[in-house]
Amino acid sequence: YFGLSLLFASIVFENYSPYMFDDSAFTLRYLDNFWEGFFYHYNKSDPPVFGISSFTFGIFTGLWCWLHVLTPEQSIHFTSFLGVVAVSFLLLKILRELVKENALVLVLWFAIIFSSKMFLNVAKSGMESPFHVSIVLLAILLFLQNKSRWMWLLLAISVISKLDAVPVVFVIGLTF
C-alpha cells in the first residue's frame, strides 16, 4: 500500500498545477518569519498571532523552516507531498479494514481518491488539506482497529488542527 501511495503522490505532484494559491500566501508569510525565529508572527514587529487555517500544518511546516532544513516553499511542498502519501495509504488501510478483497479495495480507493478533482488540485497548492485529512483518516483507522487511546488523541489533534473536524469527532464519539 505504501508503494502505491508513494507512486500516486508522485503522479499528482508531477501532473497537477504547480501554483500555490489561496491561504498558502498567508502560510508562506508565517513560514518566512518562522525561518527568522519568529513563532507565529505575521509581522515581525507584532506579537505572535495564530492566523492560518491549520495549527498543526503551521507547526509542522514551521519546524522545517525554523530548523533551516527547508525553505518555506519547500516545506509546504514537502508537507503536502507527505499528506497525499498519507491520505492515500490511510484510505487503503481503512478500506482494507472494511473490505477483505484486494481487488475491491483498489477499485474503491480509485473511486474515492479521484472523486474530487479539486482535492487533487488543492493537494499541491500549498493548502493544509492533505495534511489535515491524513490526521482525520488516521483517527478513523484507529477507530476501526478499536485503539481508543490513540484514536481520541488523534481526534483531539484533528480538532486543534482545524475546527472542521468537530462533526467527525462528534459522530465517532456517538458510535464509539
Write down the pLDDT at residue 39.
Answer: 86
Helix axes 129-144, 166-175, angle to 10 degrees: 0
**Alpha-carbon torsion (81, 83, 88, 93), positive or negative:** positive
CA pair distance 67, 52, nearest whole angstrom: 20
Give the integer Cα–Cα distance in Å for 174 and 20: 38
pTM for this predicted structure: 0.90
Say what the pLDDT of residue 174 is. Answer: 92
Low-confidence ranges of the chain (pLDDT < 70): none
The pLDDT value recorded for residue 168 is 92
In this predicted structure, what is the pLDDT of residue 6? 96
Whole-number pLDDT of residue 79? 94
pLDDT of residue 22: 72
Distance (Å, whole) CA 64 – CA 71? 8
Query: Would you state the pLDDT for residue 176?
Result: 83
Q: Which residues contact 6 (CB under 8 A, 6 or more apart)?
A: 85
